[in-house]
Amino acid sequence: MTAEQVSAVRSFNGTQYVFKHKSSTVSCEMTFGVYVPDHTSGTKLPGLIYLSGLTCTHANVMEKGAAQGPASKLGLIFIHPDTSPRGTDVADADRYDLGQGAGFYIDASWEPWSNHFKMRSYIESELLPVVSAVVPALDTTHIGITGHSMGGHGALTLGLTRPDLFRSISAFAPIANPTECDWGRTIFGEYLGDDSKVEWKKFDASILLAAYSGPARSILIDQGTDDNFLKQGQLKPETLKSHGSAAVEVRMQPGYDHSYYFVATFMGDHIEHHHRQLIL
Amino acid sequence: MTAEQVSAVRSFNGTQYVFKHKSSTVSCEMTFGVYVPDHTSGTKLPGLIYLSGLTCTHANVMEKGAAQGPASKLGLIFIHPDTSPRGTDVADADRYDLGQGAGFYIDASWEPWSNHFKMRSYIESELLPVVSAVVPALDTTHIGITGHSMGGHGALTLGLTRPDLFRSISAFAPIANPTECDWGRTIFGEYLGDDSKVEWKKFDASILLAAYSGPARSILIDQGTDDNFLKQGQLKPETLKSHGSAAVEVRMQPGYDHSYYFVATFMGDHIEHHHRQLIL
């Protein structure tokens, strides 16, 4: 089913769109944003998927992420989906890190979440065909993936397990080792069950990285040193180590926090990182 | 009285601050933001005041204006005050274009506004000393002024009447001829009285420009062609014409609207415009 345009606004010599569509994967209406630089008809442009963090929708990075300028300059389509299924019939919880706004980019197998919370499948199977149907310039064979915090975890885990889909990887302040932090243990317990620690490991970037044997990847990570979630042990960037064909660069950025001021500051570098590898 | 720091966050190799202070001019607590690029101790940097539009606070441009990157690159301090006095004892109205959030950068002479609504005096007399007390790097002798919509009106009228304070001028989608548009007539009638049309003209950019005889100024204006307020006749950029020592460039930007997507797109150009003139 074709996505319906919610809005379109000119931005940095391109158009910032918002669309919505009925998702068969997560069984509800989903919203996504996509920024498309101006291009001559028939041109194909590479794309970058940006996965947002806890509590965010598609809108946070659209308003505060400063992606449009660098994406326009280089000619890259910037795709930013929502963080979870939503709606009155979608399960939710009375906390910010579980339920709506907190899909964690995994496929939930436990009740009450398993009905809708299939964000991993949504990103890897449904999103790109839906986007390319409305943005024909998108070259779905040249796609990178990045994200912030929970979305950084999503970008790393999707990127490392689906190198056939994602040719370039980066992350901003990712939850790098969720099986060993409070957020991950709590949420994986809810979505995957407490007794399936084997299953948990499939969604842990540092574990996936240590076993990586796919095509060569150069992975850029930025992490602020004054990030409260870093101090709380939720992020653990030190667990991300180069392994085999995966080269990891973790840049500790002095004084930066976990906010979109941090994301916006380094967004240009990440877009360049992806563009360089996507045009190879 | 020294301003009190509300927040400080790293952004684009600089610091985005928010401060608050008791204003003697508008007789209430006022909040302002200031972005300070990293600099060596003792250095003086030029400054640019950005006046925001209707309904905005100091925060809109801070989050969505994309000023920090270009300000950091060139070494310019970006100062963004609130749009009006605020508080439970400050007069307000049940409409978005009058009262709190809608100071119009004039000094009100009529009740119930005359007690607090002295935004013109606040910007020209109080803001810079308060900012420079907490940001000693600010070179208060090299200050430019810009703004968006109501703030564009503020920037043009302050810039044209106080060339001694403001060395460079620009505006985004300004209310260029308020004495001839609905917003201006309604709000000037409230703040200045219906019978003081002579007074009104002191706060109309197109009238001030047609009589300008101050030092040479090169004024940059950007205006989106798909701006609904342009279509409604609230902005009237065609009334801004070069006159004598004031050279006006109005750039009509095809397809752009009135939003911060428009402001962010051209913010870099405006910061370059000011910086070029401020370092002369």
Tens of pLDDT, residues A98-146 = 999 999 999 999 999 999 999 999 999 999 999 999 999 999 999 999 9
Q: Look at A10 and B66 and tell me if their CB atoms are within 8 Å.
A: no
Q: Look at B64 and A63 and tell me if their CB atoms are within 8 Å.
A: yes
* pLDDT score, position A98: 94
| Backbone phi, psi, residue A218, to 5° | -110, 110
Instruction: Please report residues of A whose CB lies closer than 8 A to that of B256.
Output: 10
Three-class secondary structure of residue A221 per DSSP = strand
What are the angstrom distances between the C-alpha of A182 and each of A236, A259, B277? 11, 20, 53
Maximum distance among all Cα pairs of chain A, rounded to whole angstroms: 53
> Which residues lie below 8 Å from residue A132, measured CB to CB, with a gap of 6+?
A138, A140
Any catalytic annotation for residue A84?
no
Instruction: Please report residues of B whose CB lies closer than 8 A to that of A13.
Output: 265
| Residue B63 touches partner A, C-beta closer than 8 Å | yes
Any catalytic annotation for residue B149?
yes
All residue ranges of chain B with pLDDT < 70 are: none
> Which of B72, B73, B256, B261 should we substitute to test contact with A (largest number of A Cβ atoms within 10 Å)?
B261
Question: Tokens 């020209």 identify what position?
Answer: B124
Question: Tokens 């044209």 identify what position?
Answer: B160
* pLDDT score, position B183: 94
* pLDDT score, position A199: 87
For residues A158 and A145, the answer to whether their CB atoms sit within 8 Å is yes
B21 vs A194, which has greater pLDDT? B21
Instruction: Please report residues of B whose CB lies closer than 8 A to that of A18.
Output: none
* pLDDT score, position A280: 83
Residues facing residue B147 across a β-bridge: B51
The H or E element spanning position A35 is strand A28-37
| Residue A13 touches partner B, C-beta closer than 8 Å | yes
Question: According to the CATH classification, is domain B4-278 in 3.40.50.1820?
Answer: yes
Instruction: Please report residues of A whose CB lies closer than 8 A to that of B226.
Output: 10
Q: Look at B11 and A261 and tell me if their CB atoms are within 8 Å.
A: yes
* pLDDT score, position A198: 86
Write out chain B in H/E/C secondary structure.
CCCEEEEEEECCCEEEEEEEEEECCCCEEEEEEEEEECCCCCCCEEEEEEECCCCCCCHHHHHHCCCHHHHHHHCCEEEEECCCCCCCCCCCCCCCCCECCECCCCECCCCCCCCCCEHHHHHHHHHHHHHHHHCCCEEEEEEEEEEECHHHHHHHHHHHHCCCCCCEEEEECCCCCHHHCHHHHHHHHHHHCCCCHHHHHCCCHHHHHHCCCCCCEEEEEEEECCCHHHHCCCCCHHHCCCECCEEEEEEEECCCCCCHHHHHHHHHHHHHHHHHHHCC
Three-class secondary structure of residue A278 per DSSP = helix
End-to-end CA distance of chain A: 33
| Backbone phi, psi, residue A160, to 5° | -75, -30
Dig out the tokens for A157 from the structure: 């885990």
Measured CA to CA, the distance from residue A193 to residue A187 in angstroms comes to 9
Computed over every residue of chain A, the mean pLDDT equals 97
Measured CA to CA, the distance from residue A61 to residue A146 in angstroms comes to 12
| Residue A261 touches partner B, C-beta closer than 8 Å | yes
Considering only CB atoms, A259 lies closest to which of B9, B13, B257, namely B9
For residues A147 and A155, the answer to whether their CB atoms sit within 8 Å is yes
Å from B255 to nearest chain A CA?
Answer: 6
Maximum distance among all Cα pairs of chain B, rounded to whole angstroms: 53
Q: Look at A63 and B63 and tell me if their CB atoms are within 8 Å.
A: yes
* pLDDT score, position A65: 98
Dig out the tokens for A205 from the structure: 């970037």
Q: Look at B261 and A226 and tell me if their CB atoms are within 8 Å.
A: no
Q: Is the peptide bond before A178 cis (omega within 30 degrees of 0)?
A: no
| Residue B68 touches partner A, C-beta closer than 8 Å | yes
Catalytically annotated residue among A11, A52, A149, A168: A149
Instruction: Please report residues of A whose CB lies closer than 8 A to that of B257.
Output: 9-10
Is the pLDDT at A203 greater than 80? The verdict is yes
What does the pLDDT look like over A74-94, one tens digit per residue? 999 999 999 999 999 999 999
Starting at the edge strand that comes first in sequence, how are the strands of the sheet with B246-253 ordered? B4-10, B14-23, B28-37, B77-81, B45-51, B138-147, B168-172, B217-224, B246-253
Is the pLDDT at A196 greater than 80? The verdict is no
Per-residue burial over A1-35, b = 16 or more CB atoms within 10 Å of its CB, e = otherwise: eebeeeeebbbbebbbbbbebebebbebebbbbbb
Domain boundaries, given as residue ranges, for chain A = 4-278
Is the pLDDT at A1 greater than 80? The verdict is no
* pLDDT score, position B99: 95
* pLDDT score, position B199: 87
For residues B25 and B125, the answer to whether their CB atoms sit within 8 Å is yes
Any catalytic annotation for residue A11?
no
Instruction: Please report residues of A whose CB lies closer than 8 A to that of B262.
Output: 10-11
Three-class secondary structure of residue A187 per DSSP = helix
Å from A163 to nearest chain B CA?
Answer: 32
| Backbone phi, psi, residue B176, to 5° | -85, -20
Considering only CB atoms, A12 lies closest to which of B63, B259, B265, namely B265
* pLDDT score, position B21: 98
* pLDDT score, position B198: 86
> Which of B62, B265, B266 should we substitute to test contact with A (largest number of A Cβ atoms within 10 Å)?
B265
CB pairs under 8 A between A and B: 66
What does the pLDDT look like over A232-247, one tens digit per residue? 999 999 999 999 999 9
> Which residues lie below 8 Å from residue B45, measured CB to CB, with a gap of 6+?
B36, B37, B39, B75, B76, B77, B137, B138, B139
| Residue A78 touches partner B, C-beta closer than 8 Å | no
Q: Is the peptide bond before B129 cis (omega within 30 degrees of 0)?
A: no
Instruction: Please report residues of A whose CB lies closer than 8 A to that of B59.
Output: none
What does the pLDDT look like over B30-42, one tens digit per residue? 999 999 999 999 9
Complex ipTM, two decimals? 0.94
- Which residue does chain A place closest to B268, by CA atoms? A69
Measured CA to CA, the distance from residue B45 to residue B121 in angstroms comes to 24
Distance of CA A127 to the CA centre of its chain: 12
Q: Look at B264 and A224 and tell me if their CB atoms are within 8 Å.
A: no
Instruction: Please report residues of B whose CB lies closer than 8 A to that of A9.
Output: 257, 259, 261
* pLDDT score, position B56: 97
Q: Look at B10 and A256 and tell me if their CB atoms are within 8 Å.
A: yes
* pLDDT score, position B256: 98
Q: Look at B265 and A11 and tell me if their CB atoms are within 8 Å.
A: yes
Of all residues in chain A, what percent carry a pLDDT higher than 90? 97
- CA neighbours within 13 Å on the CB side: how many for A7? 14
